[in-house]
Chains A and B, each alone.
Chain A
Amino acid sequence: PPQTPIRAAMTSIQLLRGDLTSSGDQPSANLLTYFKHCTVDPTQDVQKRLETLGQVFSQTFGQAVGPHCVVYGRQRFALGVRLYYRVMEEMLKSEEKRLSVQNFNKLLNDSTFHTSLLACALEVVMATYGESSFKNGGYNHGGGDSAETNVCFPWILNVFNLAAFDFYKVIESFIKADPTLSKDVVKHLETCENLIMERLAWRTGSPLFELLTQEHESGGAEQVETPAN
């Protein structure tokens, strides 16, 4: 039977939390094995980064939606971490199968990869809670006199000082790695992707420009045809 928007949101939240109950808030044994197979074990860096980003996220979430909502920020972050670990493990399994390697040293020691993946997981959590929504601009729990800002995408990029182009890199692999994502959440990520391709990746300072310069200098770019007379 058709659901009211509130009932639909509550169902999505229950499904997300239910799915993540079996996922730990620490890396699984399998994921730790991937970490240990790296030339440089990234385990400690991963955990330190999560502690730092967790504090940044909760505080910034509280500033955005209301000071009494820092606790909600922590709750969202905790769910995001579980999803982050789960998707990371699935991505690595898939890469191991594709590349026949077990040492993902460069990838797992890349801070940008981890930050992008975590940001994507948090975007999924906030989209599920309706806080990041392109339809109604998201909603905030807060009230009172404090100034509230929207936490709709690309808010998460500003929180983590993450380039849109780097966030874009994880989206497709994220969706592939988690077949339980709802149609609405996938649609939301697709909208984020389009926004990045159309506008955000072309902002001043985007790493896309450096990549284009490198491609051009390495002769990778095709020669542009001169205009016909």
Chain B
Amino acid sequence: SHDYHYGLEDHEGISELFDCD
């Protein structure tokens, strides 16, 4: 297992990051 720090909130995802909301 890794200790990557996830920054996205539960309501955020790839769609918002590529301006698809």
Given A98-B13, A104-B15, A170-B14: A190 touches B4 (CB 8 Å cut-off): yes
Given A172-B7, A172-B8: A107 touches B2 (CB 8 Å cut-off): no
Is the C-beta of A95 less than 8 angstroms from some C-beta in chain B?
Answer: yes
Contacts from B to A (Cβ < 8 Å): 1-2, 4-8, 11, 13-15, 17-20
CB distance from B13 to the nearest CB of A (A): 6
- Bound together, the chains give a CA A102 to CA B7 distance in angstroms of 25
- Bound together, the chains give a CA A94 to CA B10 distance in angstroms of 11
Given A183-B1, A186-B2: A173 touches B14 (CB 8 Å cut-off): yes
User: Is B14 touching A175 in the complex (CB atoms < 8 A)?
Assistant: no
Question: How many positions in chain A have a CB within 8 Å of any CB in the partner chain?
Answer: 23
Point out the residues of chain B lying under 8 angstroms from A190, CB to CB: 4-5
- Bound together, the chains give a CA A107 to CA B17 distance in angstroms of 10
Residue of B5, B11, B13 with most chain A CB atoms under a 10 A cut-off: B13
User: Is A95 touching B4 in the complex (CB atoms < 8 A)?
Assistant: no
User: Is B15 touching A107 in the complex (CB atoms < 8 A)?
Assistant: yes
Within 8 A of B (CB), among A60-101: 91, 94-95, 98-99
Is the C-beta of A106 less than 8 angstroms from some C-beta in chain B?
Answer: yes
Point out the residues of chain A lying under 8 angstroms from B1, CB to CB: 183
- Bound together, the chains give a CA A110 to CA B18 distance in angstroms of 8
User: Is B2 touching A95 in the complex (CB atoms < 8 A)?
Assistant: no
CB distance from B16 to the nearest CB of A (A): 10
Within 8 A of B (CB), among A158-183: 169-170, 172-173, 175-176, 181, 183
Other-chain residue from B2, B4, B5, B18 in contact with A169 (beta carbon distance below 8 A): B18
Point out the residues of chain A lying under 8 angstroms from B8, CB to CB: 172-173
In the complex, besides A106-B19, A110-B20, A173-B17, 16 extra interface pairs with C-beta distance below 8 angstroms are A94-B13, A95-B13, A95-B14, A110-B18, A113-B14, A113-B18, A169-B14, A169-B18, A172-B4, A173-B8, A173-B14, A176-B6, A183-B1, A183-B2, A186-B4, A187-B2
- Bound together, the chains give a CA A94 to CA B11 distance in angstroms of 12
